[in-house]
Amino acid sequence: MNYLRLENITKCFGSFIANDAISLNVKSGSIHAILGENGAGKSTLMNIISGLYQPDAGQIYLAEQAIKITSPHQAIKLGIGTIHQHFMLVPQLTVTENIILGTKPSWRLNLHQKHQEIAALSQAYGLEIDPTAKVENLPVGIQQRVEILKVLYRQAKLLILDEPTAVLTPPEVKSLIAILRQLADAGNTIIFISHKLDEVMNLCDTVTVLRQGKVIATTATKSTTPQKLAALMVGKEVNLQLNKPPISSGEVILAVQNLQVADYRGITTINNVSFELHKGEILGVAGVDGNGQRELADALAGLRKVKQGNIKFTNQPCIVGYIPEDRQTMGLIMQFSIAQNLILKSFKYLPFCRRFLLQQKAIAHHAQAAMQEFDIRATDKDIKVSQLSGGNQQKVVLARELAREPGLIIAMQPTRGLDVGATAAVHSRILAERDRGAAILYISTELEEVMAMSDRLAVIYRGEFVAILDAATATVAEIGLLMAGEGR
Ligand SMILES: Nc1ncnc2c1ncn2[C@@H]1O[C@H](COP(=O)(O)OP(=O)(O)OP(=O)(O)O)[C@@H](O)[C@H]1O
């Protein structure tokens, strides 16, 4: 039986057709993947199913009943639970408060009891969390868990997960996959949006590929391959192999000695970190999310105070390109246009500013060139970045940070949310920066990615570099142990 059936769903933004007569059958108790390039229309479609957007045309059937989903609240009442790509949490509230927010309160709210309930729920699903912690103080990976628990708390029958593994560590991904299989076996229906083809192949029963707002194909995962899926998404063959030229590194660009950095609470989260980074070299930082990566990156970018130790740039001045972990709060001004975001670090200088006046022609020209080079898909350079798909927002950050030919690049999860084609493009672009002579710190929780990209690989655990290894000879097993605080 089809649990969800979409018939000719169409959604336009102005003259742009984001979803073009999409028809889709999602079987009851199945895990159904939706694949597509950045901007293909996946999130728009999911926003329609979760009641955030109203379609301009088409019909939705739930358990073969024609329905209208007029609001997110109604979607929840219908048993549709969505975990969005960008979190929908209230940062100032605690984990428990976020989870119970919007649910029907009993006549007297017993927060202590609710904390216990959430703790039990999180333990039952292996998603450990402190129910009393404030969400704004949690790392991205943990915030994701809150989103998942929020949906599970509401006992949704149809779960929509928009790139849920993008922020999870390999063990967390493994446990999430097991949870999702378990939920599907128990009769829940799951829609899974991901750019990770291996995950789709491992987890999902069926996959639908979207391209430019249209359904291109629907197929059983067992009768396809990652290569075929990539080609369907992009419309041409994609090389999924990384082509890395041999390293030719030079002088030391950055020397870090006994670095100590505290987090927002004053608690030391980077301790005794020392390393050197050379011209033309990629030093990877592998580690489980929340082990001090964010504080390290912020300190190197000059955004966080150094408690002890020192950071020395040997060539002064050194332009630093910083690709932060969270593009929406740290990387972009969401209400600014693409063109404005692209000059945030250079608007004071020529050719963008002359005699205190912004030079609109130069800004427009720069935006057009960057959009072409980084394949930023948008109808116009002047649209707000809030209207871009997640992947295209990330490309705006990359385009801005790499434009000034930085001597040091700090890249934190630079391919998060990018489709296979865009990921391959970012990898080759960062490798080209390395060949140009940039020193690159590549921080990622994606172990295979960081191993493939790096020349040397530092493993971070509880704020310390527990080892710096040659990436060519290090093994996944060895790094996995070090990441877990063992095998030192
Ligand atoms: N509110 C909006 N206003 C205008 N255009 C929009 C809006 N939301 C989405 N779009 C456009 O619709 C298209 C589809 O976007 P959508 O977010 O659905 O893509 P996606 O497949 O989820 O991409 P990604 O993988 O990058 O998240 C994009 O070109 C985007 O710019």
Is the model's pLDDT at 406 over the cut of 90?
A: yes
Is the model's pLDDT at 28 over the cut of 90?
A: yes
Q: What is the DSSP letter of 414?
A: T
Please report whether residue 242 resides in a domain. Answer: no
Please report whether residue 190 resides in a domain. Answer: yes
Please report whether residue 464 resides in a domain. Answer: yes
436 and 332 in a common domain: yes
Please report whether residue 101 resides in a domain. Answer: yes
278 and 194 in a common domain: no
Q: Residue 383 CA: which ligand 1 atom is closest? A: 4
SS3 121: helix
CB 72 within 8 A of CB 50: yes
CA of 175 to the centre of ligand 1 (A): 30
Is the model's pLDDT at 426 over the cut of 90?
A: no
d(CA 286, CA 186): 36
Complex ipTM: 0.97
Q: What is the pLDDT of residue 488?
A: 60
User: For ligand 1, atom 19, which residue shows the shortest CA distance?
Assistant: 39
138 and 269 in a common domain: no
288 and 230 in a common domain: no
d(CA 444, CA 423): 13
CA of 364 to the centre of ligand 1 (A): 22
CA of 378 to the centre of ligand 1 (A): 9
Is the model's pLDDT at 483 over the cut of 90?
A: no
Return the bridge partners of 321, or none: 409
Instruction: Kindly report, residue by residue over 432-468, the tens digit of the pLDDT.
Output: 999 999 999 999 988 888 999 999 999 999 999 999 9
Among 234, 267, 292, where does a domain finish? 234
CATH of the domain at 113: 3.40.50.300
Q: How many domains does the chain have?
A: 2
294 and 429 in a common domain: yes
pLDDT band at 372 (very low <50, low <70, confident <90, very high): very high
295 and 151 in a common domain: no
Share of the chain above pLDDT 90, in %: 62
Radius of gyration (Cα) for the chain, nearest Å? 23
Instruction: Kindly report, residue by residue over 300-312, the tens digit of the pLDDT.
Output: 999 999 999 999 9
Among 169, 201, 234, where does a domain finish? 234
Cα–Cα distances in angstroms (integers) from residue 302 to residues 61, 93, 316, 320, 322, in the given order = 52, 29, 14, 10, 10
Q: What is the pLDDT of residue 178?
A: 85
285 and 166 in a common domain: no
d(CA 367, CA 97): 42
221 and 314 in a common domain: no
Please name the residue ranges forming H helices in 357-446: 360-373, 390-403, 420-436
Lowest mean pLDDT among 42-46, 67-71, 104-108, 196-200: 104-108
Token digits of residue 447: 């172990």
Mutational test site, ligand 1, from 34, 38, 43, max ligand atoms within 8 Å of CB: 43
CB 483 within 8 A of CB 310: no
Give residue ranges with CB within 6 A of ligand 1: 13, 16, 18, 36, 38-44, 377-378, 387-392, 419
CA of 471 to the centre of ligand 1 (A): 37
Please report whether residue 360 resides in a domain. Answer: yes
Instruction: Kindly report, residue by residue over 309-354, the tens digit of the pLDDT.
Output: 999 998 778 899 999 988 888 999 999 999 999 999 999 989 999 9
Mean pLDDT for 394-400 is 94
Is the model's pLDDT at 265 over the cut of 90?
A: no
The residue range of the domain holding 114 is 2-234
Please report whether residue 239 resides in a domain. Answer: no
pLDDT band at 360 (very low <50, low <70, confident <90, very high): very high
| φ/ψ of residue 252, rounded to 5 | -70, 130
Among 200, 234, 268, where does a domain finish? 234
d(CA 216, CA 414): 28
294 and 228 in a common domain: no
Mean pLDDT for 86-107 is 86
Cα–Cα distances in angstroms (integers) from residue 423 to residues 310, 442, 453, in the given order = 34, 14, 12
75 and 140 in a common domain: yes
**pTM strictly above 0.80:** no
Please report whether residue 488 resides in a domain. Answer: no
d(CA 218, CA 332): 35
Q: What is the DSSP letter of 398?
A: H
293 and 213 in a common domain: no
d(CA 396, CA 356): 25
Q: What is the pLDDT of residue 85?
A: 66
454 and 329 in a common domain: yes
pLDDT band at 266 (very low <50, low <70, confident <90, very high): confident
Q: Residue 393 CA: which ligand 1 atom is closest? A: 26
User: For ligand 1, atom 31, which residue shows the shortest CA distance?
Assistant: 388
Instruction: Kindly report, residue by residue over 115-174, the tens digit of the pLDDT.
Output: 999 999 888 877 788 999 999 888 766 887 898 888 888 888 999 998 888 766 666 778
What is the average pLDDT value for the chain, to the nearest integer? Answer: 90
Please report whether residue 240 resides in a domain. Answer: no
CA of 388 to the centre of ligand 1 (A): 5
User: For ligand 1, atom 1, which residue shows the shortest CA distance?
Assistant: 387
Determine if residue 349 is left, alpha or beta; phi over 0 gives left, psi from -120 to 50 gives alpha, anything else beta.
beta
